[in-house]
Each structure stands twice: as C-alpha cells, then as structure tokens.
Structure 1
Amino acid sequence: MALQAAIALFATFFVLLGVGVPISVSIGIASLAAGLIAVPADIVLFTAAQNLIGGMNSFALLAILFFILAGSIMNNGGIAIRLINLAKLIAGRLPGSLAHTNVVGNMLFGSISGSAVAAAAAIGSVMSPLQAQEGYKRSYSAAVNIASSPTGFLIPPSSALIIFSLVSGGTSISALFIAGYLPGILMGLSIMIVAYIIAKKEQYPVADPIPFREKVKVILDAIPSLLMIVVVIGGIVGGIFTATEGAAIAVIYAALLALAYRSLSWRDIPKILTETVSMTGIVLFLVGASSIMSWAMTITGIPAEISNAMLSISENKIIVLFMMMVILLIIGTFMDITPAVLIFTPIFMPIATQMGVDPVHFGIILIFNLAIGIMTPPVGSALFIGSSVGKVSIEEVIPTLVKFFIALIIALLLVVYIPQISLFLPQLLNLL
C-alpha cells in the first residue's frame, strides 16, 4: 500500500506542478489521491478538512505573520542604506570592496527582513549601480548579490526555522535561532572568498579609507537597526518572551524606528499591510495543505518505506546524510523553501534522528540545503530578482554563479559533517 500511495502522491503532485497548478493546491490534491488508497473517500475528505484548518490553527504561526510585517516595515523604512554603509565599513578594504559590501549588506538586511528576495532587491538595487560605475562586470555583481541573499534564512530571526520547529514536533526555536549564526556566517564567508579571488583576477578596486569621524557616524546610524536583532533574539533566547511575542515586539520596534527616521508615511501603510497579508496567506495555506500531506503519508506508511529504502542502500551515517543532501539540493531547484520544509521534514527527520543526528543540527542542514535552491534555476526566486535588479540576463549570470554555487556546496558539506558548527553556540548557552 505504501508504494502505491507514494506513487499516487508524488506523481499527482509533480504532474499538477508541471501544468501550472499552484503548489498549495497541488499538495492538497496529491494528498487526497494518496489518502484514498488507504481509507474511504468520505473519511479522507472529512479528515483532510480537519487537518487543513488544524494545521493553520497554531499560535506559533503568528510569529511568521509578525516577522513578515516587521520585515515589510523595514523594507519600506529606509533601513537598507544604513546597513549598506555599515557593510562598507566592515568590508571596504578588500579587493572588490563593493562586492564584499553587498555580501555583508545581505547578511545584515536578510537577517532583519527574513527574506532572500527582499534582501536581493533592497541591497542589490543600491549596490548594482555603484558597482557598474566602478567597472565591475554586471554578471559578477549580480552573482554576488544572488548568492548572498539567502543568508537570512539561516541568520535569525528566520521564518524558515520557525516553520521547521513547528513541523518537526517542537524543536526549540531558541536553539535553532542560535544554531543558525555560525552556518549563516560561513555561508557569507564562502561567497566572499570566491568574490575576493575573482576581484583579484579582474583587478577590481579597493574602496578609499573612511575618515574616523564618518566611521563613528556610520556605526551610530546603524546601531538602532541592529539593536532590533539584539532585543528580539536576546529576549527569545533569554526566555523573557516567546518567539511569537518577540515577533510582535519586532513590529513595534521597526515601526518606531521608521517613524524616527521619518522614512515612512501614512500612504505606505496600505502597501505594507497588503504585502503582509498576501505573504502570510500564502504561507498559512501551504502549512494547512502540508498538514493534509503529513496525515496522508502517516496513514499510508510512506516515511517508513522511504526510510527502509534509504537504509537498505546503506546504514552508514555519512552516506545517508549525503543522499539526503543531494535529494534536497535537487528539490530546492524547483520548489520554494517553505513547502519543501513542510513536505520533507517529516520524511527525512525520522531517518536523521535514527542515525543519531541532533534535531537542531538537522534543521540547519535542511534549511542550508534548500536556501541554495533559491539561487538556482528553474524557479530560484532570488535568481530572477537579482538578475532583474542587476540588469543582466539569467544566461549571462549563471557561469559566474556556478563558482559561488561550488563554494556554497563546500560550506554545506562542512555544516553537514561537522555538527559543532551548528551546535557549539546552543550548547554554550545551555539551549540543548
């Protein structure tokens, strides 16, 4: 039965995706097709409806809504330019200074906004014209921006980590947030290494030194924006408030900051609220549809069969993790990170925990894998936005992007096979 259900589930899902059916609807219909193999139609429809509503009826999901709202306020509130100035200060003396500024800017802004697309658009729209004026190749500038934009999925606060916590059965959000810092920084550093090598070869310029007085001004301007991360993450990790409460505080902080900068008007509010409602609705419907899929897979025994199939190939932890990594990298090329987390966490997490992998470590592995997919064709959202902002075709940017892709794969392998990269900070703070 499990084999028949798996064929019905995945065949229906990919056929529907292939003909252009929205992913949430594809997940729901495919789940019904699999469920019908195990139980009568009336029970399938009734239980599917229950799971659809029940999956969305979670207090923890409010954190995603509030973080999306906070990110939207900051996207429209003049935050990007202050973070870019700080990034120039951090990376300004390296060859190809503006490219490194782009990477650091995406790491800072991505962690605040929690969106790879927002980071690629906000930072790229400022940095691409500056790099063009300095003689940088557009394909290089765009590739740097695209490759570094997903770092915000790992550097908290991250909605992807919140979703993983929910679907994995309650893995500590505090531990996941802290665990994401070192892998996220490693992700950014790997991109900067490749950017440095290319910059040396192409002889891209080093930025002029910044006077001390201007350095002080840049730091003071950026501190209020960075304090949001300190307040929110510090409060969550310290047990002062929950992730949901922390997200609500982030909204208030972002609004007060935007008002202080006088960069937000009443006319911007409808746009911000519309963006927030639209993005939250998409995420919630995905969560509800994926709850139906989780139920269908459970009653048909699909995860157990997949586990048995993988372990029949090898019971070696190194090989099993490598197989997971390859599958997730392939999945990431044609599926957005949210549905991929919802679908593949219940499939792969039991296998990983059976092999002795810590749930927090597995969560970071999963998100890192899928974050790379944001920059790859055919459906990489950061790839399309970054190419558009950089005014370069996808065909032109891909040869350069491949070099960054290789560096990210090496960084991913380090994260997969050296658990302490993810677990050192949570252990240090007694979160595990």
Structure 2
Amino acid sequence: MRVVLLILGASALATLGYLGAVWADPALYSEAALIPVIFATLVVLICLNVPIAVGLAVAGILGLLLTEGVDSLVTVALDMYDGSTKFSLIAIPMFVLAGAIMNAGGVTDRLINFVSALIGFVRGGLAMVNIGVSLFFAEISGSAVADVAAMGSILIPQMKKRGYSGPFSAAVTSSSASLAIIIPPSIPMILYATSAEGTSVEQLFVAGVVPGLMGAAGLMAVAYMLARRYDLPTEEAFNIARLRATFLDALPAFSLPIIILGGIFGGYVTATEAAGLAVLAAIGVGIWYREMDFRHLRRAMLDGGMQTAVVMLLVAASVLMGGFLTRAQVPQDLAAWLLGITSNKWVILAILNVFFLVIGFFLHSAAAIILVVPIVMPLIAAAGIDPVHFGLVVTLNLAIGQQTPPVASVLITACAVARANIWEVSKVNIYFVGVLFAVLMMCTYIPQIPLFLVDYFYR
C-alpha cells in the first residue's frame, strides 16, 4: 500500500509540477513531455477509484485543452455523442436483452436437461454440462458476466449438492463463461471492431467459432481429468429415450443460434440486425414455453441496461482521449519505435500478448479494448498483421484477464455465487486458464485456426 501511495503521490506531483511550470513559462511546453503527463493523470485517477470512463474523459479534455486551447472544447459533447451512437454498438444492448429473455423464459432449464442427457453419464458429467450449456448460452448473450450470473445461480448449487467442491464448481463456471467473449456474438468483438476502424464485426464473429470450440473441448478434457482425480460422481446412465425427449423439448431453443449465426454467416443480416432478430426469436421461444418469469426478466433487463450504459460511457469518453492521441501522433510514434526494434510480426505479436495479458490483470475487457486498441492499430497495419487475426488475439487475452485477479470480473462473480474464497478457486482455475492460454498461443502463431472460416466465407 505504501508503494502504491508513493507512486500516486509522485505521479500527482510530477503532473502538477509540469502544468505549473508551463503556466508560468509557456516556452517550456512540449507535446513529447505532455504525453506522459496525460497518462500519469489517467493512472492517478484510476488508482483513486475514479470510474475509468470519467478518468478517460478528464485526461482527454486536459490533453485537448493543453494542445489546442479552450476553443477545442466547444464540440466535446457532440464528439462524445457521435462516438457512442455508431450503428454497430446497437448490437450490445440487443444481445444482452436476448440473453435475459432466454434465461427468464425457461430456455436455460431445457438446455441443461438436454446437455445432461447427452454427456451427463461421463465422470464429472455435471461439470461438462456446465461447460456445454455455457457454450450454447455464449451464442446468445455475448457477455461472460451475464453467462456466469445466469448459469452459476442454477448449476453451482446443483454441483455442490452432488459432491463437487465450491472452488471446483466456481472455477468450471467461471472459465467456461469466458467462452462468451470468444464465440459469436461477442460484445468485446463488437467494441474491437468499433475501435479498429474498418474491421468487420461479422468476420470477427466467424473467426471466433473454431477457437471457441477448441476452448470448450479443452475445458471438458481438464474437467474430466480432475473428475477422475477427485472421484467426482456421474449423473444417471445414458438413456436414448431421455435424450430424444429432452432434445425435442429444447428444439425451439436451438432456433436461436441458427437464426443468429446462420443469418450472419449466410450474409443475410449484419451483426446488428442479427441482434434484433435474436431478441424477437427469444421472445417467440419464451411465448412457446409459456414460462416467462417477468420478475426475473425485469431484474436482468435492469442489470443489462446498467452494463450497457457503462460500456457506452466508456466509448463516449474514449473519443476525447482518441482525439488527443491522434493529434499528438502517439499511435504512429509507437509503431515507429517498436518497428525500429523489430519488424518481425511474430515477435511483435509476442510483445503485444504480454502487454494485453498484463493489462487484463487491471482493466475490464471493454476498458482495455477502448483504451489500447486505437493506439496499437497503426503498428498492426505497419507489421502486416491481419486485423481480424489480431482481434482474436486481443479477445483471448482479455478472456484470460477475466480469470486473473485482482480485477477478474467473471471469476469474482462466480466466487460470489459459489460463496467460495477467490484464492482457493484460483488454485483450481489455473488448470482451466491453462487451456485458454494454449488456445491463445495456437491462434497467435497458427493464424489459419481463426482465419480458416473467414477465408472460406469472405475472401
């Protein structure tokens, strides 16, 4: 704590000292010296627990004020509004709403019954059911936090009742929920496409399919090995009649991913239009089952609305910081500096992997994408790296970040549901995080894995 306070104090003093010196003698002004001052201001605000969106806005306004004067602030409100009203961003609240309707309409229970009948007979089958249902739910909500909150509240108590430990139950639920930001539709992918101008959301969605399935298979393999080690129970024996009955019962629910992914992959709708169709389809399935829990739906919609508002505020605030960085030529200078060290794109990807893994420890995925991606995109273009490939690399890094303290938003949510200690859960979760890391390495250095379907459908 003393070290943190010392760093904060030094950053604050350096920032105030520089601003005071420039105020007294404008000749001391230098854009090169101003950049670390602006970033120091942002770091200080974040460490003081100021909301990241507010910190971004304050730092961006300060940068514009010092580089271009008071006149540059006239259009601040309009710039923020324009930045947060891009067409592709409409998909975010729509996918969140579709997930809420699906969970409140009885869809989740039927998915659990079907997956349990399909693979529940395997040792540790309920853990695999957890992963399998998360794989399906990821194709509707696009949000890992929504996934772990919805699935965890149902499956974690059932797992604990059947002899699974609280840390194991939370680890499985948390790690499998991160599939929601790898498999389409993915909210972080939408934000990445918005931040990386010219990148196709649809191509990012397609690129996430194979890595997502690889991640699910790897998580199931680890769950099976741990189940054998701890002699975890199996569910009821495989029964073809039960499988057929649960499949027919869940059949209307299977229309949701077909509508979303089929529409996008077939080129019939954009990602934003698919989000609207997902809401209509979720409503139709809920009406079919006649089990809509309106109290649950209201709570889920309020939570989703707040989550969306936070993301939109981040997007709006990032416009101001982006304007300052563009005027100061920070992205171009970073690209020139790193390319001066190495022009090998694989080495550059390794450096950026380490950078994003570290960033993921401290920032939520939305904030990390909005803050960092616009800065590194000129470097990606100069190094000849496919922006869709890099988008998968970023997404996988942030999926790991959701599982690693101190921020670890998804892991913390799972621990809260399971009432388990975060460090005890992390000891188990490290095996599952290892799977995500292996998928990250394969997708980084074998780009054909994420780009195979993209090349087939679009190139």
Q: What TM bracket, shorter-length normalisation?
A: over 0.9
Task: Report the structure number with the largest CA radius of gyration.
Answer: 2
Say whether 1:282 aligns with 2:310: yes
Deviations 1:102-153 (A, max 9, x none): 1111111122122211211222222222222332222112111111111011
How has the CA–CA distance of structure 1 residues 276 and 205 changed in structure 2, closer, same or farther, with 3 Å as cutoff? closer
Q: For 2:338 and 2:308, locate their aligned partners in 1 and report how far apart those are by CA, in whole Å.
A: 35
When normalised by structure 2's length, the TM-score is: 0.89
Q: For 2:167 and 2:294, locate their aligned partners in 1 and report how far apart those are by CA, in whole Å.
A: 38
**AA in 1 matched with 2:61:** L
Q: For 2:33 and 2:108, locate their aligned partners in 1 and report how far apart those are by CA, in whole Å.
A: 51
Q: For 1:4 and 1:64, locate their aligned partners in 2 and report how far apart those are by CA, in whole Å.
A: 38
Q: For 1:196 and 1:364, locate their aligned partners in 2 and report how far apart those are by CA, in whole Å.
A: 27
Match of 1:38 in 2: 67
**AA in 1 matched with 2:205:** F
Say whether 1:182 aligns with 2:210: yes
How has the CA–CA distance of structure 1 residues 268 and 119 changed in structure 2, closer, same or farther, with 3 Å as cutoff? closer
How has the CA–CA distance of structure 1 residues 201 and 267 changed in structure 2, closer, same or farther, with 3 Å as cutoff? closer
Match of 1:196 in 2: 224
Match of 2:120 in 1: 92
How do 1:283-298 residues align onto structure 2 when only pairs under 5 Å count? Answer: 283-298=311-326
**AA in 2 matched with 1:341:** I
> What is the deviation of 1:90?
4.0
Say whether 1:335 aligns with 2:363: yes
Q: Choose 420-429 or 65-74, whichever is displaced more.
A: 65-74
Q: For 1:150 and 1:268, locate their aligned partners in 2 and report how far apart those are by CA, in whole Å.
A: 23
Match of 1:159 in 2: 187
Q: For 1:252 and 1:406, locate their aligned partners in 2 and report how far apart those are by CA, in whole Å.
A: 38
| Corresponding residue pairs, total | 430
Of 140, 147, 164 in structure 2, the residue corresponding to residue 112 of structure 1 is 140
Asked whether the 8 Å contact 1:287–1:342 carries over to 2, the reply is yes
Match of 1:236 in 2: 264
Match of 2:393 in 1: 365
Asked whether the 8 Å contact 2:63–2:324 carries over to 1, the reply is yes
> What is the deviation of 1:27?
0.9
> What is the deviation of 1:267?
4.9
Q: For 2:201 and 2:70, locate their aligned partners in 1 and report how far apart those are by CA, in whole Å.
A: 37
Asked whether the 8 Å contact 2:115–2:133 carries over to 1, the reply is yes
Say whether 1:23 aligns with 2:63: no
Q: For 2:360 and 2:451, locate their aligned partners in 1 and report how far apart those are by CA, in whole Å.
A: 24
How do 1:264-275 residues align onto structure 2 when only pairs under 5 Å count? Answer: 264-265=292-293, 267=295, 270-275=298-303
Q: For 1:265 and 1:291, locate their aligned partners in 2 and report how far apart those are by CA, in whole Å.
A: 39
Match of 1:13 in 2: 42
Deviations 1:9-29 (A, max 9, x none): 321112111111111101111
Asked whether the 8 Å contact 1:75–1:118 carries over to 2, the reply is no
CA RMSD for the aligned pairs? 1.9
Asked whether the 8 Å contact 2:56–2:318 carries over to 1, the reply is yes
Q: For 1:5 and 1:200, locate their aligned partners in 2 and report how far apart those are by CA, in whole Å.
A: 58
Asked whether the 8 Å contact 1:174–1:236 carries over to 2, the reply is yes
How has the CA–CA distance of structure 1 residues 266 and 127 changed in structure 2, closer, same or farther, with 3 Å as cutoff? closer
SS in 1 for 2:74: helix
How has the CA–CA distance of structure 1 residues 42 and 369 changed in structure 2, closer, same or farther, with 3 Å as cutoff? same
Match of 1:4 in 2: 33
Q: For 2:129 and 2:300, locate their aligned partners in 1 and report how far apart those are by CA, in whole Å.
A: 27
How do 1:398-413 residues align onto structure 2 when only pairs under 5 Å count? Answer: 398-413=426-441
Asked whether the 8 Å contact 1:2–1:301 carries over to 2, the reply is no
> What is the deviation of 1:275?
3.2
Q: For 2:407 and 2:399, locate their aligned partners in 1 and report how far apart those are by CA, in whole Å.
A: 12
How has the CA–CA distance of structure 1 residues 265 and 193 changed in structure 2, closer, same or farther, with 3 Å as cutoff? closer
Of 122, 129, 144 in structure 2, the residue corresponding to residue 101 of structure 1 is 129
SS in 2 for 1:135: coil
How do 1:340-351 residues align onto structure 2 when only pairs under 5 Å count? Answer: 340-351=368-379
> What is the deviation of 1:55?
0.1
Q: For 1:407 and 1:244, locate their aligned partners in 2 and report how far apart those are by CA, in whole Å.
A: 31
**AA in 2 matched with 1:18:** C
How has the CA–CA distance of structure 1 residues 265 and 401 changed in structure 2, closer, same or farther, with 3 Å as cutoff? closer
How do 1:318-329 residues align onto structure 2 when only pairs under 5 Å count? Answer: 318-329=346-357
Q: Choose 414-423 or 65-74, whichever is displaced more.
A: 65-74
Q: For 1:172 and 1:50, locate their aligned partners in 2 and report how far apart those are by CA, in whole Å.
A: 25
SS in 2 for 1:239: coil
SS in 1 for 2:105: coil
| Runs of at least 4 residues off by over 4 Å | 265-270
Say whether 1:300 aligns with 2:328: yes
Asked whether the 8 Å contact 1:72–1:275 carries over to 2, the reply is no
**AA in 2 matched with 1:337:** S
Q: For 1:47 and 1:55, locate their aligned partners in 2 and report how far apart those are by CA, in whole Å.
A: 12
Q: For 1:90 and 1:359, locate their aligned partners in 2 and report how far apart those are by CA, in whole Å.
A: 38
Q: For 1:295 and 1:215, locate their aligned partners in 2 and report how far apart those are by CA, in whole Å.
A: 56
Match of 1:316 in 2: 344
How has the CA–CA distance of structure 1 residues 75 and 390 changed in structure 2, closer, same or farther, with 3 Å as cutoff? same
**AA in 2 matched with 1:106:** S
Q: For 1:32 and 1:118, locate their aligned partners in 2 and report how far apart those are by CA, in whole Å.
A: 33
Match of 2:4 in 1: none
Q: For 1:273 and 1:118, locate their aligned partners in 2 and report how far apart those are by CA, in whole Å.
A: 11
**AA in 1 matched with 2:53:** S
Say whether 1:393 aligns with 2:421: yes
Asked whether the 8 Å contact 1:111–1:153 carries over to 2, the reply is no
**AA in 1 matched with 2:91:** A
> What is the deviation of 1:2?
5.4
Task: Specify every segment of 5 or more residues in structure 2 that has no aligned partner in the other structure, as ranges.
Answer: 1-29
When normalised by structure 1's length, the TM-score is: 0.94
> What is the deviation of 1:270?
4.3
Task: Specify every segment of 5 or more residues in structure 1 that has no aligned partner in the other structure, as ranges.
Answer: none
**AA in 2 matched with 1:103:** I
Q: Choose 125-134 or 227-236, whichever is displaced more.
A: 125-134
Asked whether the 8 Å contact 1:111–1:151 carries over to 2, the reply is no
Asked whether the 8 Å contact 2:356–2:398 carries over to 1, the reply is yes
Q: For 1:59 and 1:159, locate their aligned partners in 2 and report how far apart those are by CA, in whole Å.
A: 14
Of 134, 141, 144 in structure 1, the residue corresponding to residue 172 of structure 2 is 144
Say whether 1:254 aligns with 2:282: yes
